[in-house]
């Protein structure tokens, strides 16, 4: 049966060995979930390829060789997808391919400067080899249009992929997001502020195959409700990649006020952060999450020194991952724009870490001094209270 479909490719290199089936199953699940959310699409697996098809496909649902913006966006959110192509799925008889080549000549090659036909043949039993197919179809297209064939950088490439029981013909190869399928790399807890960096850090971890929850420390009543809606908006953008994402909102203002009243001002940011990672560790362990993730970038601001990052990390009971550690701000901003979080991140908001902080915070903290300052507090109780009062917000499923 002939139909328009989307051919979806994934990175073979990650799929070698015994885990192959498990990886492809995760990828199929997540592709299925993404495309179903935008329409009645199904994912079929054939010859190491995924095809996104309409269940009652008669070729009428999608215009030939294009995709809808919604469907393209859904595939673009599926980590593990390397590239995809809107294709014509058809019988592999040469006469049928020739008929299609004539149509493509008129609709897509006529009036262009150059073209080529590029065939790949998974089934070596096919009576014609790829060079012969290129010549047959290329000759036909040239005859119809007068457009010269060119092997190097042609304006139009007609791709023909001979499959076991048919053929896929396509014109475009569109980039996917890459990475690994969600659910293949463990579970993490993202410390999500309202800033630019942490949503990007979350995206990068999910792209690496992690399932993520997010945690936000809210300095209410010192911060505004707008600060919360901003974080909710960012979390829901991340949930577009992974609908199981939940946001844990921790009341943090009272703890901050207590630290302000009893600890040196210079150390406040570091103490806030140490309590954040303690609380995050507790919640992660309760939820079965294996690591914490922040948007820290080395040296981006005076407080993000190796010394400070080390002293903060010393309070974490789980690995603390920092995917943006080596990113320039410009690079983080570019990625934030690409994934669509930037505009929300730059809305004005109150940052709980600037609360009560003097103009010259510590830039080279020493663990012994920090521990000394913390000795004045009942650390356990200060963790227990906000953990018990944490609110959980679910997105999507
Ligand atoms: P971001 O843009 O993510 O806020 P930043 O460069 O502004 O990052 P900081 O504000 O110093 O850096 O925060 C460093 C990291 O600490 C953040 O990326 C985030 O992971 C975490 N963090 C900071 N404030 C909060 C908060 N209120 N709730 C949760 N995590 C936070
Ligand atoms: Mg910030």
**CATH code where residue 226 lies:** 3.40.50.620
Number of domains in the chain: 2
Residue 76 φ then ψ, to 5°: -65, -15
Asked whether the predicted pLDDT for residue 54 surpasses 90, the reply is: no
* Element at 115 (helix H, strand E): strand 115-121
Asked if residues 79 and 241 have their Cβ atoms less than 8 Å apart, the reply is yes
Same-domain check for residues 250 and 352:
yes
Distances from the Cα of 233 to the Cα of 101, 343, 345, angstroms: 47, 11, 9
Reported as a single tens digit per residue, the pLDDT across 284-305 is: 999 999 999 999 999 988 779 9
Strand partners of residue 188: 212, 291
Residue with more model confidence, 149 or 22: 149
Asked whether the predicted pLDDT for residue 47 surpasses 80, the reply is: no
Distance 301 CA to ligand 1 centre (A): 11
pLDDT of residue 124: 85
Assess if residue 181 is contained within a domain: no
- Which residue has a Cα nearest atom 30 of ligand 1? 191
Give me the domain span that covers residue 311: 187-396
Residues 48-58: what's their mean pLDDT? 78
- Which residue has a Cα nearest atom 1 of ligand 1? 195
Which DSSP category does 149 fall into? B
What is the overall mean pLDDT for the chain?
A: 93
In Å, how far from its chain's centre is CA 75?
A: 11
What does the longest C-alpha to C-alpha distance in the chain come to?
87
219 C-beta closer than 6 A to ligand 1: no
Same-domain check for residues 256 and 380:
yes
Ligand nearest to the CA of 272: 1
CA distance linking residue 59 with residue 52, whole number of Å: 13
CA distance linking residue 215 with residue 54, whole number of Å: 38
Same-domain check for residues 206 and 240:
yes
pLDDT of residue 310: 97
User: Which of ligand 1's atoms lies nearest the C-alpha of 300?
Assistant: 6
- Which residue has a Cα nearest atom 23 of ligand 1? 193
| DSSP annotation string for 276-294 | HHHHHHHHHHHHT--EEE-
Which residue intervals of 113-252 are DSSP H helices? 130-145, 197-207, 225-239
Distance 41 CA to ligand 1 centre (A): 38
Same-domain check for residues 156 and 212:
no
Assess if residue 182 is contained within a domain: no
Residues 318-330: what's their mean pLDDT? 97
pLDDT of residue 397: 63
Same-domain check for residues 127 and 191:
no
pLDDT of residue 224: 87
pLDDT of residue 13: 60
Same-domain check for residues 150 and 261:
no
192 C-beta closer than 6 A to ligand 1: yes
Same-domain check for residues 147 and 260:
no
Same-domain check for residues 151 and 20:
yes
pLDDT of residue 300: 84
CA distance linking residue 162 with residue 87, whole number of Å: 12
Of 20-34, 125-139, 326-340, 344-358, least confident by mean pLDDT is 344-358
User: Which of ligand 1's atoms lies nearest the C-alpha of 351?
Assistant: 27
Query: At which of 175, 205, 238 does a domain end?
Result: 175
Same-domain check for residues 220 and 361:
yes
Of 116-120, 187-191, 300-304, 376-380, least confident by mean pLDDT is 300-304
Exposure string of 257-279, with b = 16+ CB inside 10 Å and e = fewer, is: eebeeebeebbbbbbbbbbbbbb
Same-domain check for residues 227 and 136:
no
User: In a mutational test of the pocket of ligand 1, which residue from 188, 198, 365 has the highest number of ligand atoms less than 8 Å from its CB?
Assistant: 198
pLDDT of residue 1: 66
Same-domain check for residues 160 and 195:
no
Distances from the Cα of 280 to the Cα of 100, 101, 142, 246, 294, angstroms: 58, 59, 64, 14, 11
Q: Which structure tokens are listed for 238? A: 């991340």
Distances from the Cα of 3 to the Cα of 64, 91, 220, 300, 322, angstroms: 9, 10, 56, 52, 45
Closest CA to 342 of 333, 355, 351: 333
User: Which of ligand 1's atoms lies nearest the C-alpha of 293?
Assistant: 20
Residues 83-110: what's their mean pLDDT? 96
Same-domain check for residues 15 and 104:
yes
Asked whether the predicted pLDDT for residue 243 surpasses 80, the reply is: yes
- Which residue has a Cα nearest atom 24 of ligand 1? 193
**Ion ligand 2 — residues with CB under 5 Å?**
193, 195
User: In a mutational test of the pocket of ligand 1, which residue from 295, 297, 326, 342 has the highest number of ligand atoms less than 8 Å from its CB?
Assistant: 295
Q: Which structure tokens are listed for 360? A: 């010259």
Exposure string of 73-98, with b = 16+ CB inside 10 Å and e = fewer, is: ebbebbbbbbbbbbbbbbebebeebe
Say whether 301 sits in a helix, a strand or coil. Answer: coil
How do beta strands 174-175 and 81-90 pair?
Answer: antiparallel
Of 134-138, 361-365, 378-382, least confident by mean pLDDT is 361-365
Q: Give the pLDDT band of residue 264 (cuts 50, 70, 90).
A: very high
Residues 95-104: what's their mean pLDDT? 96
Residues 338-351: what's their mean pLDDT? 92
Assess if residue 109 is contained within a domain: yes
User: Which of ligand 1's atoms lies nearest the C-alpha of 215?
Assistant: 29
Distance 362 CA to ligand 2 centre (A): 17
Asked whether the predicted pLDDT for residue 62 surpasses 70, the reply is: no
191 C-beta closer than 6 A to ligand 1: yes
Assess if residue 180 is contained within a domain: no
N-to-C CA span, the chain: 35
Distance 217 CA to ligand 2 centre (A): 11
Asked if residues 173 and 82 have their Cβ atoms less than 8 Å apart, the reply is no
Give the pTM: 0.92
pLDDT of residue 58: 55
Assess if residue 161 is contained within a domain: yes
């Amino acid at each position: 049966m002939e139909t328009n479909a989307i051919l979806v490719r994934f990175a073979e290199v990650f799929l070698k060995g015994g885990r192959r089936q498990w990886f492809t199953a995760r990828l199929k699940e997540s592709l299925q979930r993404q495309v179903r959310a935008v329409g009645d699409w199904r994912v079929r697996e054939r010859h190491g390829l995924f095809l996104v098809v309409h269940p009652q496909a008669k070729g009428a649902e999608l215009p030939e060789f294009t995709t809808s913006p919604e469907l393209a966006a859904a595939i673009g959110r599926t980590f593990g997808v390397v590239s995809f192509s809107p294709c014509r799925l058809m019988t592999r008889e040469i006469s049928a391919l020739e008929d299609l080549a004539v149509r493509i000549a008129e609709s897509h090659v006529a009036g262009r400067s150059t073209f080529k036909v590029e065939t790949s043949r998974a089934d070596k039993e096919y009576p014609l080899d790829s060079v012969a197919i290129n010549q047959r179809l290329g000759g036909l297209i040239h005859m119809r249009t007068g457009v010269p064939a060119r092997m190097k950088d042609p304006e139009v490439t007609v791709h023909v992929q001979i499959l076991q029981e048919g053929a896929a013909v396509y014109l475009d190869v569109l980039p996917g997001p890459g990475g690994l399928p969600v659910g293949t790399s463990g579970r993490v807890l993202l410390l999500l502020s309202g800033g630019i960096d942490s949503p990007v850090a979350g995206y990068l971890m999910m792209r690496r195959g992690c399932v993520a929850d997010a945690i936000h420390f809210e300095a209410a009543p010192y911060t505004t409700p707008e600060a919360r809606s901003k974080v909710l908006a960012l979390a829901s953008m991340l949930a577009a990649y992974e609908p199981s994402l939940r946001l844990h909102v921790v009341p943090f203002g009272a703890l901050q006020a207590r630290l302000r009243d009893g600890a040196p001002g210079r150390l406040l940011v570091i103490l806030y952060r140490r309590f954040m990672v303690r609380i995050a560790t507790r919640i992660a362990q309760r939820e079965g999450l294996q690591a914490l993730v922040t948007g820290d970038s080395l040296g981006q601001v005076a407080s993000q020194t190796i010394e400070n990052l080390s002293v903060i990390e010393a309070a974490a009971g789980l690995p603390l991952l920092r995917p943006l550690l080596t990113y320039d701000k410009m690079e983080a901003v570019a990625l934030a724009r690409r994934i669509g979080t930037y505009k929300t991140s730059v809305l004005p908001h109150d940052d709980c870490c600037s609360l009560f902080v003097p103009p010259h915070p510590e830039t080279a903290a020493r663990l012994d001094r920090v521990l000394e300052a913390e000795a004045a507090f009942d650390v356990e109780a200060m963790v227990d209270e906000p953990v018990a009062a944490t609110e959980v917000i679910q997105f999507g499923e």
